[in-house]
Structure 1
Amino acid sequence: MRGRTPRWRCVFAVVCALLAAAGIAISLTWGRVFDSVVARQVALVPGSRSFREWEAPSVPLFMDVYLFNWTNSENFPQEKPHLVQLGPYRFKEHRQHVNVTWHVNNGSMAYRTLRSWHFQPSSNGSLDDNVTMLNIIAASAIYRARDWGFLEQKMLSMSLAMFGQHMVVSKPARELLFEGYEDALLDVAKTLPASATGGAPPVDRFGLFYERNNSITTDGYMEVSTGVDSGTLPGQVLRWNYEDYLPYYTGECAKNRYDSRFLREMFLYATLRRSSIKGWNGKTRTYLLKGSAGEFLPRDLTERSAVTVFVPDLCRSIQLTHKLSGELGGLPYHRYSVAPESFDNSTSSHHNTCFCNGDCSWGGVMNVSACRYGSPSFISLPHFLHADPALAAAVSGLQPDEDKHSFYFSVEPNLGVPLEVAARFQLNVLIEPNPNIALYEKVPKMLFPIFWVEQSVQTEASIIEELVYARTILEWGATVCACTALLLLVLVALATCCVPRHKYARPADGAIISEKPKDEAEIKLNNL
């Protein structure tokens, strides 16, 4: 029939139209489609790539330890301590998550972390280096006795003298770090009740990292979300050491949970994404402790976002805020550094008051004595960066530097993948005068720097290439789908509108043309 579209054109047009509609729908919802795919890829489920990389990380991990050598201890307290930084003593860390238990009913998993450290020849120093530092064992004993009566303190003073305790100890670096050294006070501590030792387990040796190598107790028992449930992220801490709160603190600090403002923002985010958020309005579970374990971070981060990480060594979470943006291997990132208020002594951040545990004399430090068996332990950034100037003024030899001593995560913002991590902390021990204990009768009240550590991770180039590819798909996926849909619509128009018309050719000479037979009346009329 003249002008009729062939059947194959109709089928072709219908198929193209359906594909174009699908392309338009995907382009309009590309963000949600991509998020759904990524969520399935990063969820911690048995056998997934994400789980395999998490279970035994292939990314090289290093720990650099810097020890402070006290060079003028014989003149203390007449002279302020002069400290010389030694190191770094570099250790390569092997980490593996073990004893994994799955809790399918609430979308979580529990595990412990096995860590081992191996000394590296590239270190700036030898483990045989002799280092002089504050006698931490004596300092801890005197700190615990600060509330004792007069007679008990005098007995401790005589015991310290009898067992040859001094203000300082001088030991090889290997003994100060992992191997430990023997001390008579440790034997005495075994005979004392738990109330006198702060509940510290009896040990035969003392070292800054003693009994940590090849141990699964360092980070404790962790329970985190798997990210399987809609609206949840993997790696968010639910319980630590079987508790959904922090027993070392009181009030809101013990809860250590996200506040209502954060949950409202998360609920709004989930609503825009057309997904549910666990724990909202009490209908389902919420993240019981604040922050992730560090391996998994939220996606779609902006310069206004804050990253929260739970740090077992600090027995609490810390918040990181945006510091700067840059590019690594062609991949853009946001760098989030430890917020100054995380180390604040409550003078400007009232919510930190319950972390003080009684002593918040200086800003820029964390009092972690409660989770260190009552030892006078305070954490700061290295060289007292961003801390009260009085802390650095009490000693000489410190040179705080933002580039060398800050704590930060460099994160690809859209995917929430850490590209570079520099976790830096400094351990300081509180000393203060005690008129009843001869060893500390004339000492000033100060925080004495002992060492600082940097745990660094940098993503390998091959993984960065994969992330660049994934980011390209995220940024251009909607555009490609829309262009494909437009091309298909053009093909539909060509298939349905541009139908060729059938033309009749003039008959060639000699061709026989059939005509309609004429009747008799028409023949007679023509003859006339």
Structure 2
Amino acid sequence: MCCNKKCWLIAGTVIGALLVILGGVLIPVGDIIINGEIDKEAVIEEGTIAYENWIVPGSTVYRQFWIFHVSNPNEVIEGAKPILQQKGPYTYLVRHLPKSNITQNTNNTVTFYQPNEAVFQRNMSIGSDDDEYTVLNLAVAAAPGIISEMFLGIVDSAIKQSNSSLFQKRSVREVLWGYRDPFLEAIPNFIISDKTTGVFYPYNGTADGPYVVFNGKDFIQKVALITRYKRQSTLSYWSDDYCDMINGTDAASFPPSVDKNLRLYFFSSEICRSIYGEFEKEYKLRGIKLYRFVVPKLALASPLENPDNHCFCTDLLISRNCTGSGVLDLRACQGGKPIFLSMPHFLYASDFILDSLDGLSPNIEEHQTFVDVEPITGFTMHFAKRLQVNVYFNRTDKIEVLSKLQSEFMFPVVWLNEVGI
């Protein structure tokens, strides 16, 4: 870790203010100086240090990807348990473009879009992103979940016509960012019109938003809190208003005076929900005290373990009557595609998910998400967002390459580690 531009706010407003305090009798005055500087410099408006770090992150942000290579594809089709090997990291620079269409509103909020662009970093990767691996065929695996059962005969014919199968060789770049799929090309347009697929397709050249956040001018404890996303104050993905709430910030910063006894809430459009971190430890980085908050096991636990998650259970069959833990059903916000999110290597997931696959080794140190926050200013100094993208599919007699599978699968495609350094 290194001390980035965000240190200037901390050093300039906190440490600098402390240096002018000449004894215990002046401590109340010192607190006023410190709090006054923070209230001024943490506001999201032109001319403040917070604004400079808000437009473009003060940390350089990278995404590391590990692709899941399938060692025994033919055997899996015949009913064997998949043997997986992770291949990576393949690293991309992200979040380097400034926020766009920024508007300071009259109600002390700011509206903006977050542009998306990923730039490959060969020197931080194990090889070229043209490296090829045997991976799950996204289109074939997802087809039964998004195409009406009455058309599965057409799906089976299209698989054979295009010489496709449940697995295929694809480059890292294709898996992540998209490719024209021959199986989809063989499907009539009235069933599926978009012939391109990829885990994060479309990404480059797109923008997330609009977001509306509080700028903190009227009340600094609201700074950076998201009040609207895509012109709505709540989401519409889940079955309950509780799960549809937009809570917290985007995790790049939090309101000042962070209390380690309270949860830190943040919203991520990629996981289609708000989530939270809980205090784990305190440590120092170059003399600056930081609080580490981690996303706990309960955040993705079953409703049996965490009743607050009742409205994230969307399918009684897949979740085994809402007893399954560790995965989040994203179909409602992914156009019906059977995409499920988890922590890498199914950390904290139910045994029945892990038992259907070989080659996974979940561990907290490598696979847990955390944010390290300077508690006085609320600035995130370091973070690691770790997620895994999985496709759910099951055996069906109507599609030959799926007819002999040993069981249903929550099949991992890729996991990522987004870090700010």
TM over 0.5: yes
Q: How far does the alpha carbon of each residue in 1:475-516 deviate from its partner, in whole angstroms, 9 at most, with x for none? A: xxxxxxxxxxxxxxxxxxxxxxxxxxxxxxxxxxxxxxxxxx
Q: Quick one: which of 279, 297, 302 aligns to 2:254? A: 297
In the alignment, what sits opposite 2:17?
none
How far off is 1:298 after superposition?
Answer: 3.0
- The alignment status of 1:449 with 2:412, answered yes or no, reads yes
AA at the equivalent of 1:130: E
Distance 1:46 1:121 in 2: 35
Residues 178, 199 of structure 2: 8 Å contact kept: no
What is the CA-CA distance between 1:26 and the residue it aligns to?
Answer: 6.8
Specify whether residues 43 and 231 from structure 1 end up closer, same or farther in structure 2 by C-alpha distance, changes over 3 A only. Answer: closer
Number of residue pairs matched by the alignment? 390
Report the counterpart of residue 513 of structure 1 in structure 2.
Answer: none
Matched residue, 1:248: 237
The match for 1:55 is 55
Corresponding position of 2:202 = 211
Looking at secondary structure, tell me which structure has more helix per residue: 1
Aligned to 1:499: none
Normalising by structure 1, we get a TM-score of 0.69
Query: 1:256-295 alignment to 2 at 5 Å?
Result: 256=245, 289-295=246-252
Conservation of the 8 A alpha-carbon contact between 1:187 and 1:204: no
Query: CA shift at 1:182, angstroms?
Result: 3.3
Give the conservation status (yes or no) of the 8 Å contact 1:87–1:124.
yes
For residues 253 and 440 of structure 1, what CA distance do their matches in structure 2 show?
A: 37
Check whether the contact 2:138–2:197 (CA below 8 A) recurs between aligned residues.
no
Letter in 2 for 1:325: E
* Secondary structure of the corresponding residue to residue 93 of structure 2: strand
- How far apart, in 2, do the equivalents of 1:177 and 1:380 lie? 17
Tell me which of 205, 224, 227 is aligned to 1:235: 224
> Who is 1:317 aligned against?
274
Q: CA separation in 2, counterparts of 1:42 and 1:186?
A: 51
Report how far residue 176 of structure 1 moved. Answer: 1.8
1:501 is matched with none
Report the Cα distance in structure 1 between the residues aligned to 2:55 and 2:48, rounded to whole angstroms: 11
Contact 1:360 1:367 in 2 (8 A): no
Partner Cα separation in structure 2 for residue 161 and residue 131 of structure 1: 22
Structure 1 vs Structure 2: percent identity of aligned residues? 23
**Partners of 2:278 and 2:296 within 8 A in 1:** yes
**For 1:407-443, what per-residue CA distance to the aligned partner results, in whole angstroms no more than 9, with x for missing partners?**
0001122222212100110011111122333332232
Map Cα deviations across residues 454-489 of structure 1 (whole Å, 9 max, x no partner).
11012xxxxxxxxxxxxxxxxxxxxxxxxxxxxxxx
- Rg: which structure is higher? 1
Higher relative strand content: 2
Unaligned runs of 5+ in 1: 1-22, 257-288, 459-528
Q: Deviations over 1:256-312 (max 9, x none)?
A: 1xxxxxxxxxxxxxxxxxxxxxxxxxxxxxxxx211012221333343221111001
Distance in 1, matches of 2:63 and 2:346, equals: 20
Query: Residue 309 of structure 1: SS of its match in structure 2?
Result: strand
- 1:428 equivalent to 2:387? Answer no
CA distance in 2, matches of 1:374, 1:318: 22
Q: What code does the residue aligned with 1:242 have?
A: R
What is the 5 A alignment of 1:39-54?
A: 39-54=39-54
- Change in CA separation of 1:115 and 1:403 when aligned onto 2, cut-off 3 Å: same
State the 1:24 CA deviation: 10
Letter matched to residue 134 of structure 1: L
Letter in 2 for 1:445: E
Question: Aligned equivalents of 2:381 and 2:24: distance in 1?
Answer: 34
The CA distance in 2 between the partners of 1:377 and 1:133, in whole Å, is 16
Distance in 1, matches of 2:319 and 2:229, equals 26
**Matching residue within 342, 362, 374 for 1:400:** 362
Q: d(CA) in 1 for partners of 2:188 and 2:308?
A: 36
Partner secondary structure for residue 40 of structure 1:
helix
The Cα shift of 1:242 comes to 1.0
Residues 319-364 of structure 1 show CA distances to partners (whole Å, capped at 9, x for unaligned) of 1111222221122222111121211121211221212222434201
User: C-alpha separation between the residues in 2 aligned to 1:304 and 1:186?
Assistant: 54
Q: Find the counterpart in structure 1 of residue 91 from structure 2.
A: 90
C-alpha separation in 2, matches of 1:457 and 1:167: 36
Question: How many angstroms apart in 2 are the aligned matches of 1:246 and 1:164?
Answer: 40
Q: Secondary structure at the match of 1:334?
A: strand
After superposition, where does 1:75-86 map in structure 2 within 5 Å?
75-76=75-76, 77-86=78-87
Conserved 8 A contact 1:245-1:254: no
Deviation of 1:253 after TM superposition, in Å, equals 3.6
Contact kept, 8 Å, 1:156 with 1:437, in 2: the verdict is yes
Amino acid across the alignment from 2:187? V
1:294–1:310: 8 Å Cα contact kept in structure 2? yes
The equivalent residue for 1:168 is 167
Please give the TM-score of this superposition, normalised by the length of structure 2.
Answer: 0.86
Q: Structure 1: which amino acid aligns with 2:50?
A: S
Whichever residue aligns with residue 434 of structure 1, its letter is T
Contact 1:369 1:378 in 2 (8 A): yes
Give the drift of 1:80.
0.8
Q: Which amino acid aligns with 2:117?
A: S
Per-residue CA deviation, residues 184-243 of structure 1 (Å, 9 max, x unaligned), is: 415736433xxxx6xxxx544222233312322xx2321111111125422111111111
